[in-house]
Structure 1
Amino acid sequence: MLVVVRRGNRYLVLRRVPERLGYWSTVAGGVEPDETPAFAALRELREETGLEAAVTELPITLAYSLLDDPPDVRARYAPGIETVTVHSFVAEAPRDWEPTLDDEHDDYRWCEADDAIALFVYETPREAVRAASREVGA
């Protein structure tokens, strides 16, 4: 599950701490067994940035393979899981709001869509930002 946080025509990009591979991404996390994807999106949004905002599911289906991921990443998933389906959401941030980062992140930026996409290592946040920008025609 991931959440694209948008403020006008700018998108929040978070950098993971080096212990979590130090890459730039959106708000992201897992869906617990007792959660819906939307509830997980609200929880992760609050935990990773401090933002309490409504989330809207984006009209895209994203998936990625775990087969090329390092063993420590694959170990986070149940045995036998080879593909992860990613539910994607968008949240609107207030104009003057800035994130309060959790211990999983050490930096953030507000970027236009193309600049955010260029920072991402993985395709899933790229596609989610593209979808969010189409939603507003940005």
Structure 2
Amino acid sequence: MKSGNKQPISVLVVIYSAALDVLLLERADHPGYWQSVTGSRDGDETLRETALREVREETGLDAARHDLRDWQQQNEYEIYPHWRHRYPPGVTRNTEHVFGLQVPRDVAVRLAPREHLNFVWLPWRQAADTVFSPSNRAAILQLPEREHHA
């Protein structure tokens, strides 16, 4: 299998409403696995540019028109073995940068069909219990505190 050139630098964008409902997306490659918007940096994009692009690609939303905040938080984790072929040889760890994006609850969501099957808005606690990624869960659990200090 040919090695990929995916960068081990990614963004996690927690999209939420003023009432702290969280938008979750169901992965097309793993039905039943729910997550926030995620994606790896392309080229020499800034992290904000990566977040804007991934939100646009995965939800159709223009994050620049809403309140996109860099939470200044990084998570480092081991890349699942079945996904390592996407990265250069020897790369086993990824650094994820967390963003929050507040949008109106009735905003129109347009999924990327090859990436996601479905979307759902859930109250933050339920959303945290639904996502498969520990770093995604931890980010969602921070929402009330982050909004309180916003």
TM-score (norm 1): 0.88
Alignment correspondent of 1:52: 62
Q: Does 1:77 align with 2:87?
A: yes
Secondary structure of 1:59 counterpart = strand
The equivalent of 1:63 in structure 2 is 76
Q: Which residue number in structure 2 is paired with residue 109 of structure 1?
A: 120
> Match for residue 108 of structure 2?
98
Gaps of 5+ in 2: 1-10
Report what 2:146 is aligned to: 135
Give the number of the structure whose residues are more often strand, by fraction: 2
Give the SS at the match of 1:29: strand
- Cα deviation digits, residues 37-76 of structure 1 (max 9, x gap): 110000000111011123211132211112xx233x1111
Q: Percent identity?
A: 34
Report the Cα offset of residue 81 of structure 1.
Answer: 1.3
> How many residue pairs align between the two structures?
133
**What are the ranges of 5 or more consecutive residues in structure 1 without an aligned counterpart?**
none
TM-score, L = length of structure 2: 0.82
- The secondary structure found in structure 2 opposite 1:33 is coil
* RMSD (Å) for aligned C-alpha atoms: 1.6
Residue 31, structure 1, aligned to residue 41, structure 2: yes
